Structure 1
Amino acid sequence: MASTLRRRVFGNGNDTPTEPLPAQTPRDQSPVRPGEKVKVVHKRKETRKRKTTGIFLLGSLFGIIAAGFFAKSNDLIDFEFPELGDLSMDNLFEILPAGFVKDMRELVNGERDFLESYDAFSVGHKVRSEGLSSHHPMVLIPGVISTGLESWGTSNESLPYFRKRLWGSWSMMRALVMDKENWKRHIMLDHATGLDPPGVKLRAAQGFDATDFFITGYWIWNKIIENLASLGYDPTNSFTAAYDWRLAYPNLEKRDQYFSRLKAHIEMAVKLDNKKVVLTSHSMGSQVLFYFFHWAASEHGGKGGDDWVEKHVDSWINVSGCMLGAVKDVAAILSGEMRDTAQMNAFAVYGLEKFLSKDERAEIFRAMPGMSSMLPMGGNAIWGDLDGAPDDQPGQAVSFGSFLNFRTNQNWTIPKTNFTVDDAMSYLYDTTEDWYRDAVKKSYSQGVAHTMKEVEANELDPRKWINPLETRLPLAPSLKVYCFYGVGKPTERAYYYRSPELGALTNLNLTIDTALIQGDVDHGVVMGEGDGTVNLMSTGYMCNKGWKMKRYNPAGAKVTVVEMPHEPERFNPRGGPNTADHVDILGRSNLNELILRIAAGKGDGIQDYVVSNIREYAERAKIYEEEE
C-alpha cells in the first residue's frame, strides 16, 4: 500500500496537503528519486499510534497488558500470565477503556495475520534465483536491548531464575510484576564496579536465539537470518556476536572477554574460508563495532596492528548506526522519560508510575553504563546552539539548538536559561550521582578532534574509541563501509522541562513538561528528522560528511550511503516491507536484499541513494577540513 509523506511546517503547526504516491510502485523500491527531498511525516492529532513501542518500555503497564493479549490471542505464544493478587488478566481487561481493548485486539490480530501471510524467505529466494550464494563469512552485531540476558547465578535470590531470561522474554514480565525489587537487583549493575552485584550473574544469551526475537512473536533479526539461510548461510559460516549491552565498553572485555572472542572468531572464519568477513551491525552495535576496530589494532587491546582490519574485514554494513548518539538518551538518564512516556494517556501514565516510577527508570538507566555510550557526541558543533542548529527548518519558531527548554513559572525551580546539548551534558553530570558521572567519563568521550594530530593522539586513549569525531576509521584502504538507515519518521530532537509537582515524592530535579501542547511541541517533546529513534544527524553525518574528511578516514575507505524512506503499510503493526523504523527496518525487503548482495560478494554495484537534506545539514555543522 502506498503511503504518503508530509513536510512539517515549523512555526504554525499546520500540515500541507498530502499527495498519494503512485499505486503501482513496486514494494521493494522507493518511489522517491535521487535529488528529491523526503518530507517528514507529522500529524497534529493521531487517533491511532504505533503500539509495539510499548514492548520496549521498561515495565510499562502497556507492555504488560499487551503481553496478556498476546498470550490469550496468539497461538504462536506459549505463556501464562500470573495472577496479580486477586486481579486476573480477564478481570483487568474488563476495567480497561473499551477503545484501548479494541486497539490491542487489532494489534494482535494484525500481527498474527501478517505472520501467516509473510513469505519469510522471499528475498533470499529472489537473490538465490539470480545465481548468488554465500561468499563471505557473516558476523552480526546487534543493537541495544535486543540481546536477551539470562541468569546464571546460584544464590538463593537467583535460583528461581536460573538460565531464564530476565531481559527479552515473558520471564522478564513475570519477574517484573511478581518480584520487581529482585528483578531490579539483577538487571542493574553495581555502582562501584560497573559489573554484577554480589550474588548476581546475568549474561548475554548466545547464538542466533539471542537476537532473533525480543519476545516470542516480536522479531528483531529473524528476517535477516531467514534470508541469509536462503542464500546458504548456517552456523558454520555466520555468527551472532551477542553482548551484554548494559556494560560499559571496557567492561565488555574485562568481564566477558567480548572483544577477544570476537577477534578470535573473525580470525578463525577468515582462516577456514580463506575470505574476509562481512560485519553487519545495528544501532548501538555500530558503536560497539567502531570501538572494536580500535581495540583490535591497539597495543592496549587486541595487539593486531594497524593492518588487522585490512587483512580480515571486507565490508562493514552499518544499519541505523547511532554513530553520534541519540538525544533521547539524555532525557532517559536525566528524568527516566522519553517521547513514549511523555505522550501516554493519563491511565497508562498512572499504571506505568505504579510499576516503575520515573525515579526508578532513571535509576535503572544510570545503572546500565552501556546505554550511556549513546549520549550525543559532537556537542554544539553538531547539535547547534541557541543561535541555530544545522538541521533547523525555514521558519522554525525555536531552534533545535535550544535542546532543553524551560517555561517560567513562579512555582517552578528551574534553570534560568535554555540549554544547548553541551549545557545539558554539563547539567546531567552536575546533578547525577558521582558514581554515574565517574563511570561515564572514565569510559567515553563526546568531543571533537579538529586536526589530524589530535585524531592520531586519540588512538592511544580508549575513552575516545567510541567517538568517530575524535578517532578515525581503520587504516584499511580496501574496506567498504555501507550506511543503510531510515529517514522520514518524526524523531525526538528537543524537550521542554519543568520542575516536578509540588509535594511529589521524587529525587529528580526536572521532568518533561507534558502539559505543553503548542505549535511544534507535543507533550513537551519537539520532533525532528530521523528513523523514529535516532536523529538524522547521528545516522547520517559521518556517512555523508565526516568520513569524507581526511583526518577521519585517512586510508580512503569507500563509504556508500543508502537512505530508506519510511513508507509503512497502514494496517501492518510492524510497518511492512517498506518501513524505515529504527528496529522494524531489519525486516525491510530492500535492506535484506542489499545485505545479501554484499554477503554474496556483489556489493560493488550498490550506489549512493540520498533523499534527505543530510548533506546540506552536514555542511552547516561547525566541523571543518583541516587547512593544509
Structure 2
Amino acid sequence: MGVAYFLHFLKWVETLPPIGGGGGSGWCAEHIKAIVNIGPSFLGVPKAVSNILSAEGKDVAYFRAMAPGVLDSGTLGLRALEHVMRVSRTWDSVVSLMPKGGETIWGNMDWSPEDEHVCDFSKKRYFRLSPSDNNVNNSDAKQVFRVKDSVKYGRMISFGKAASVLHSSQLPTAVLKEILHMSASRNFNSSCGEAWTEYDEMSRESIRKIGAADKAYTATTLFDLLRFVAPKMMNRTEAHFSHGIADNLEDPKYNNYKYWSNPLEMKLPDAPNMEIYCSYGVGIPTERSYVYKLSPSNKCKRIPYQIDTSVDGEDGSCLKRGVYFADGDESVPVLSAGFMCAKGWKGRTRFNPSGINTYVREYQSKAPTSGIKSTTHVDIMGNIALIEDILRVAAGATREEIGGDKIYSDILRMSERINLRL
C-alpha cells in the first residue's frame, strides 16, 4: 500500500485546501530529495482479483489441493473462506490494488508483456545492467528470453484450462456484456439469511453463465465481471479509486483525488532534482493469472467460484494447481513493480514532465529464501543489500555512487512491448 500513499501524498501536499495540504507547486522540490519504493505495486496485483472473486490465492488453492473437502465442509469452509470474503469486501484497499492500465499494460486474450517468460526459475539466467549499459539487446539478456511455453498471461481469469491456452479464435465468441444482458436479475433468497456476499443476490443462472467453461477475462473485462458479481462493493470503492490510463492529463477531472494513487492517471510534481527508486525482489514465482471452475456445491451461502487446483502444467511449466506464475517477489509481479521506473517515468514523459530521475534496483532471490538475503515481498525489509542502498541514498549518494540501475529480470524487454503513449 505504500506506493498508493506516496503517489497520493505527492498530489495532496501541493493541492490547495480543503482538498489538499496547501504546500504549493514547489513543496516537493524543496522538501524531498529521494523516494525509495520497496516492493512497489504501482500497477496493482492479480491476487487482488482472486481475493474479490473467491477469497482465494495461491496459498488457499494449495491447501485445498492438499486437503480436499476441508475448505468446502460445513464447518471450516463456512467459517474460514466465507468469513474472509465477508470481511475483505469491506476493505477498499483490496480494490485499490486491482490491476491498473487494463489490456495495454497487462495484455489481452493473445498477448502479454511477459510473452516467452521462462518459468523454470532454477535454470533461468539473470543479468546485471550497469549504469553505462542501457542496451537490453546485449548477449546476456538474450539468453533470458528463450521460449519454453507460450503462456497467455493476459487472460487473468480463465474458466477451464482450455480457456487459458487456446487461441482466442477457438473460444466462444459471446462476450461478457452479452452474457450479463441475458441474465442480469438479482435473486435474493431470504432463506439464506443476511446477504453477506453479493453472490446471494445473484440468480443461479447468472452465476452459471459467468463461470461457464471456455470463457476468459482480461484486466479490462475483469472490471465488468466484478461490477456484476459485486456491484455494491465496486460502486463504493470506484468512487475513490481509478484503474485506467489518462488520455489527457490536463483534463481538470484528474484534479480529483480518486486518480492520485494511479501512476497512469497523474503527473509527478515539478521536482527535477528529486529521485525515485523502484526497489524490489525478483526470481520468485509470483501469481499472475488463474484457472477457475464453478464450485461443486450449489448450496446457499457458498462461494460459487474457486481456483481449479486439479489443473497443472508439465514439468517446468508456469501453471501449478490452477495458478499461472510469472517473475516477481512472491506477491507483486515484476511488471507492476518495475514498469514505471523502467519506462513510464523514464526521462521526460507526460507522467513525469520535469524529468525526475528514476532507477530500477532489483534484488535477486538466493537460497535460503529467508534472512539477510531474502527478496520476498515482506522479508526484503531485512535484505542487507536493500538496507545498504537505502543508507547510501539517505547519506546523499548520487546515481553513480549507488550504482544506477541494477536489473536481473526481463523488465526492460517487457516495457518495450507495452505500447503506452508517453
Scaled by the length of structure 1, the TM-score of the pair is 0.51
1:384 to 2:107 alignment: yes
AA aligned opposite 2:352? N
How far the C-alpha of 1:602 sits from its partner, in A, is 2.5
Of 494, 497, 500, the residue aligned with 2:292 is: 497
1:330 maps to amino acid: V
Q: Is the 8 A contact 1:458 1:471 kept in 2?
A: no
Residues 592 and 402 of structure 1: CA distance in aligned 2, closer, same or farther (over 3 Å): same
What is the Cα deviation at residue 505 of structure 1? 4.3
Secondary structure at the aligned position of 2:279 is classed as strand
Residue 101 of structure 2 corresponds to residue 372 of structure 1: no
Q: Flag the 1:450–1:610 CA change in 2: closer, same or farther, 3 A.
A: farther
Which sits farther off after the overlay, 356-365 or 424-433? Answer: 356-365
**Aligned with residue 474 of structure 1, among 258, 264, 269:** 269
C-alpha displacement of 1:603: 4.5
Which residue number corresponds to residue 544 of structure 1?
A: 342
Cα distance, 1:349 vs. partner? 7.1
CA shift, 1:612, in A, is 1.3
Q: Secondary structure at the match of 2:419?
A: coil
Aligned to 1:403: 156
Aligned residue in 2 for 1:522: 320
Tell me, yes or no, if structure 1 residue 350 matches structure 2 residue 350.
no
The aligned counterpart of 1:152 is none
The separation in 1 between residues aligned to 2:406 and 2:388, in whole angstroms, is 15
Question: Secondary structure at the residue paired with 1:334?
Answer: helix
Q: How does 1:304-315 map to 2 (within 5 A)?
A: 304-315=23-34
Structure 1 position 423, deviation (Å): 1.2
Q: State the partner residue of 2:7.
A: 290
CA-to-partner distance for each residue in 1:384-423, whole Å, 9 max, x for gaps?
00121011213534410111111289x9652452111111
Q: Distance in 2 between matches of 1:482 and 1:333?
A: 30
Query: Does 2:392 match 1:597?
Result: yes
**Match of 1:559?**
358
**Per-residue CA shift, 1:240-267, capped at 9, x if unaligned?**
xxxxxxxxxxxxxxxxxxxxxxxxxxxx
Indicate the residue corresponding to 2:223 in structure 1: 425
Correspondent of 1:460 among 235, 255, 273: 255
**SS of corresponding position for 2:273:** coil
Letter in 2 for 1:313: I
Q: Is the 8 A contact 1:400 1:494 kept in 2?
A: yes
Say if 1:603 and 1:563 are closer, same or farther in 2 by CA, change over 3 A: same
Q: CA RMSD in A?
A: 2.2
- Classify 1:356/1:289 alpha carbon distance in 2 versus 1 (closer, same or farther; 3 Å): farther
Equivalent positions of 1:132-531 (< 5 A) are 284-299=1-16, 300-344=19-63, 345-347=65-67, 350=70, 353-354=76-77, 356-393=79-116, 394-407=147-160, 413=209, 414-415=211-212, 417-434=215-232, 436-454=233-251, 457-519=252-314, 520=317, 521-531=319-329
User: AA paired with 2:98?
Assistant: L
User: Could you say which residue in structure 1 is the equivalent of 2:377?
Assistant: 582
Instruction: Provide Cα deviations, 1:39-81, integer angstroms capped at 9, x if missing partner.
Output: xxxxxxxxxxxxxxxxxxxxxxxxxxxxxxxxxxxxxxxxxxx
**CA distance in structure 2 between the aligned counterparts of 1:359 and 1:480, rounded to whole angstroms:** 44
Alignment of 1:20-99 (within 5 A): none
- Give the Cα separation in 1 of the matches to 2:229 and 2:77: 25
Secondary structure of residue in 2 paired with 1:472: coil
Q: Aligned partners of 2:372 and 2:69: how far apart in 1? A: 32
Given residue 319 of structure 1, which amino acid in structure 2 is its aligned partner? I
Gaps of 5+ in 2: 117-146, 164-206
| Contact residue 412 and residue 498 of structure 1 kept, 8 A | no
Structure 1 CA distance for aligned equivalents of residues 295 and 215 of structure 2? 18
Separation in structure 2 between the aligned mates of residue 355 and residue 598 of structure 1, nearest angstrom:
49
Q: Report which stretch shifted further, 530-539 or 369-378.
A: 369-378
2:300 and 2:322 mapped to 1: Cα distance? 21
- The worse-fitting range, judged by mean Cα deviation, of 361-370 and 321-330 is 361-370
Give me the whole-angstrom Cα distance separating, in 1, the residues matched to 2:68 and 2:21.
Answer: 48
Paired amino acid for 1:403: M
Give CA-to-partner distance per residue, 1:359-404, whole Å, 9 cap, x none: 2212211111123211110110000001210112135344101111
Counterpart of 1:366 in structure 2: which amino acid?
Answer: R
For residues 510 and 355 of structure 1, the distance between their equivalents in structure 2, rounded to whole angstroms, comes to: 14
Gap change, CA 1:565 and 1:348, over 3 Å in 2: farther
String of CA shifts for 1:120-177, please: whole Å, max 9, x gaps.
xxxxxxxxxxxxxxxxxxxxxxxxxxxxxxxxxxxxxxxxxxxxxxxxxxxxxxxxxx
- Alignment partner, residue 535 of structure 1: 333
Q: Tell me how far 1:433 sits from its aligned partner.
A: 4.1
Decide which of 604, 608, 613 is 2:410's aligned counterpart. 613
What amino acid does structure 2 have at the position aligned with 1:295? W
Q: Determine which structure has more spread, i.e. the larger CA radius of gyration.
A: 1
Letter in 2 for 1:566: S
Instruction: Give 1:504 deviation, angstroms.
Output: 4.2
Q: 1:341 to 1:618 in 2, by over 3 A?
A: same
CA contact (8 A) 2:275 2:358 kept: yes
After superposition, what is the alpha-carbon deviation per residue over 1:170-191, rounded to whole angstroms, capped at 9, x for unaligned?
xxxxxxxxxxxxxxxxxxxxxx
Give, in angstroms, the shift of residue 451 of structure 1: 4.2
Change (3 A) 1:505 1:358: farther
- Are the counterparts in 1 of residues 46 and 99 from structure 2 also a CA contact under 8 Å? yes
Partners of 2:227 and 2:234 within 8 A in 1: yes
Q: Indicate how the Cα distance of structure 1 residues 356 and 314 shifts in structure 2: closer, same or farther if over 3 A, else same.
A: farther
Indicate the residue corresponding to 1:243 in structure 2: none
Please, which runs of 5 or more residues in structure 1 have no aligned partner? 1-283
Distance in 2, matches of 1:498 and 1:341, equals: 15
Q: Determine the C-alpha separation between the residues in 2 that align with 1:523 and 1:504.
A: 25
Q: Deviation of residue 584 (structure 1)? A: 0.6
Contact 1:465 1:471 survives alignment (8 Å)? yes
Q: Partner amino acid for 2:326?
A: G
Looking at structure 1, the residues matched to 69 and 363 of structure 2 have their Cα atoms a distance apart, in angstroms, of 33
Query: Offset of 1:619 from its aligned partner?
Result: 1.2
Q: How many residues align?
A: 334
What are the Cα deviations for residues 445-496 of structure 1, in whole angstroms up to 9, with x where unaligned?
0001244535xx3541211101001111111111111111111100011101
Say whether the 8 Å CA contact 1:315–1:480 is kept in structure 2.
Answer: yes
Corresponding residue number in structure 2 for 1:261: none
Please tell me the residue identity of whatever aligns with 1:461.
Answer: N
The secondary structure found in structure 2 opposite 1:390 is coil
Q: Please name the residue that 2:141 is paired with.
A: none
